[in-house]
Amino acid sequence: AILAIWLLSKVTPLVDRLVPSSAKPVFTPLLAFTVTSTITLSFVGPAGIWLSNGAGWVMSSLLEISPTLTGFIFGLTRPITIVFGIHHSMTPISLNNFALYGKDLLMPIMCLGNMAIAGATMAIWHKQRKYVSKEQSSITAGSSVTAILGITEPALFGVLTKYTKAMMTASLAAGVFGAISVTIDTHLTSYILSSVFSLPAYLASGTQNFVQALMGVVGVFALSYVLTMLLVKLDNK
């Protein structure tokens, strides 16, 4: 969808030059949409699928080379892959891991990524209070809460895409704790959504696994929050 909108922004001015002034209100958007949708369905959509499949292949290959490195890269790229919608390519890998090994190491990192996004967004809210209205800052705070509950899109598209350094700090925190999570074998034995409500599922593999998951969630949120507070500057512009 993001690539399609970018394409539309390029096609519209070109079409606008060809359409007479009197017909622009009707035919410019109609022709721009027709051209863009055709190119999107023919090329952009398939390219997105290939990109998703490629990301899945990379992760599968890295798991065979170094699980710790895979955890770092997967955590580091998690927020970015959500923005571009290719994060769903990881789900088949996790499901395959459940079938083959009875557990999966990637899904806990998905949860860590969400918590990192929540931590960075909460830090932005803390900084925003000096410069924006109470209503605007409350939207940011609400976005952080929804990320904790497993829905990261409001935080990503409403907050972190505006503050790219905060996106980077969230990614770094997720990468660090992703590597730790894989190294200490924090895992799930069944598919579940990535939120704080998923924590009881870690008890299926014992108390230690649950404690590791809980410490990871708290730690990645705190690290993301602290890094964002230290490295991201806001002003009243």
The per-residue pLDDT for range 152-211, each reduced to its tens digit, is 989 999 889 888 899 999 999 999 999 999 999 899 998 888 889 999 999 998 999 999
Taking only the tens place, the pLDDT of each residue in 126-149 is 888 877 777 778 888 999 999 999
CB atoms within 10 A of CB 148: 21
CA torsion 45-46-51-53 (nearest 10°) is 120
**Does an H or E element contain 47, and which?**
helix 45-65
Q: Is 235 exposed, middle or buried (0-12, 13-18, 19+ CB in 10 A)?
A: exposed
State how far the Cα of 8 lies from the Cα of 187, in Å rounded to an integer: 42
Structure confidence at residue 228 (pLDDT): 94
Residue 45: C-alpha distances to residues 22, 55, 79, 199 (Å): 34, 16, 21, 35
pLDDT band at 117 (very low <50, low <70, confident <90, very high): very high
Angle, in degrees to the nearest 10, between helices 24-39 and 2-18: 140
SS3 104: strand
Q: Which of 19-33, 49-63, 94-108, 119-133 has the lowest mean pLDDT?
A: 49-63
What pTM does this model have? 0.76
